[in-house]
Homo-oligomer: A and B are copies of this chain.
Amino acid sequence: MVQSKKLTAGIIRNDRLMSDSRTIRYYDSAGQTRDAKDARPVEEQPSIGELRLDPLVNEWVAMAAHRQGRVFLPPKELCPLCPTTGELLTEIPESDYEVVVFDNRSPSLRPPMGDWALPDIAGPDTDLGTAAGKCEVICFAANHGNSFKDLSVERVRVLLEAWIDRTEELSQESFIEHIAPFENRGEEIGVTISHPHGQIYAYSYLPPRVMKMLEAATKYKNETGKILFDEIVHREIRDKERIVAQNSRWIAYVPYAARYPFEIHVAPLNPVADLTGLTSEDRDAFAPIALEVMKRLDGVFGIEMAYIAAWHQAPVRVGRDVMRLHWQITSVRRAPGKLKYLAGSESAMGAFIMDMRPEQSAAQLKEVVL
């Protein structure tokens, strides 16, 4: 397999095989040649995990026992996400890259062998399923010390194109029901490799929070004829107080009922179901607001904030008429030396307690001088 594909905005994707048969995809804006070989010895692939139903709440839990031994905070000299150099053979065979996406070496979810179907939800005796799905890693900066906010507008455009391309391609797989590109940053929230990178989780089931969003959106549509998410954005525009950034195509706000000390939602003003629906104007206008939001977040305390930045999309096959694309950034940092933890109320009961009003965190974000 050597595949080359033209995407929008002059971006080209080139696919290569890694030594253990995983695929690596290079997304480039300048027509680079990508022919470096993965010279590492072949390693055994982990087997697929289990999917078990938690009958107390009717939620699937994926069991990926092989992940216990995964790479844990390697020093910079051994970073597997840096480009390959003479001494160090990494996940990326090339000596430089713009954006690359490759299959995760310790995936929580894996493509199934042969036919596959999710077991019916029935209760405590529900059959075991296999943890089908796909996990990919997305790297967007060859420089180990960079962050998302240090990227150029052009690089964020390539990154967005890669997210869109992955959503489009993964949506074709019969065993995939939902696609979530996200980035975790910060050791405080468990990042095990400090090189900036994101992940793409493609689930074979609707994740519990997506299921709940789908239920709320469907109920609202049935009762009012309106799209819930669009009404939420209208309310934020009307209230104005929690808007932290805006341009002609996108809006960024701290939601009315934020549940983290710093939480920002970024949504296109012309709503779409998922990343593939974004127009070229939307695509071009995303980088400026994304970079502004990330700079504001790090500017609040003048430190690198730990965060989770996740794309919420409509599921692949259901709810596409009621669900809307948005990018959700949440940070557990509530003050320079203090984090918000999910303890008894949040974790055991699911009841979030916020120590800060959303209007206050919105004001702090707006006050940052860029």
A259 to B350, CA, bound (A): 14
Binds B, one of A210-218, A273-281, A295-303: A210-218
A125 to B356, CA, bound (A): 21
- Select from chain B the residue with minimum beta-carbon distance to A108: B353
Are B207 and A349 in contact (CB-based, < 8 A)? yes
Are A65 and B180 in contact (CB-based, < 8 A)? no
Q: A228-B123, A308-B348 are in contact. Are A61 and B208 (CB under 8 A)?
A: no
A123 to B218, CA, bound (A): 12
A79 to B146, CA, bound (A): 42
A248 at interface (Cβ–Cβ under 8 A)?
no
Are A352 and B308 in contact (CB-based, < 8 A)? no
Are B348 and A209 in contact (CB-based, < 8 A)? yes
Q: How many copies does the complex hold?
A: 2
Are A352 and B61 in contact (CB-based, < 8 A)? yes
Are A351 and B72 in contact (CB-based, < 8 A)? no
Within 8 Å CB of A355, what residues of B? Answer: 64-65, 67-68
Taking CB atoms and an 8 Å cut-off, the chain A residues in 201-244 that contact chain B are 201, 203, 205, 207-213, 215-216, 219-220, 224, 228-229, 231-232, 234-235
For residue A214, give the distance in angstroms from its CB to the closest CB of chain B: 10
Q: A68-B334, A209-B349, A328-B348 are in contact. Are A343 and B123 (CB under 8 A)?
A: no
Highest count of chain B CB atoms <10 Å: which of A339, A340, A355: A355
A347 at interface (Cβ–Cβ under 8 A)?
yes
Binds B, one of A10-18, A163-171, A184-192, A286-294: A184-192
A84 at interface (Cβ–Cβ under 8 A)?
no
For residue A338, give the distance in angstroms from its CB to the closest CB of chain B: 7
Are A55 and B310 in contact (CB-based, < 8 A)? no
Are A257 and B354 in contact (CB-based, < 8 A)? no
Are A351 and B232 in contact (CB-based, < 8 A)? no
Seen from chain A, the residues whose Cβ lies within 8 Å of a Cβ on chain B are 50, 52-65, 67-68, 72, 108, 123-125, 178, 180, 182-184, 189-191, 199, 201, 203, 205, 207-213, 215-216, 219-220, 224, 228-229, 231-232, 234-235, 255-259, 308, 310, 312, 328, 330, 334-335, 338-345, 347-358, 360
Closest 5 CB pairs of A and B: A190-B341, A209-B350, A310-B348, A208-B350, A207-B349
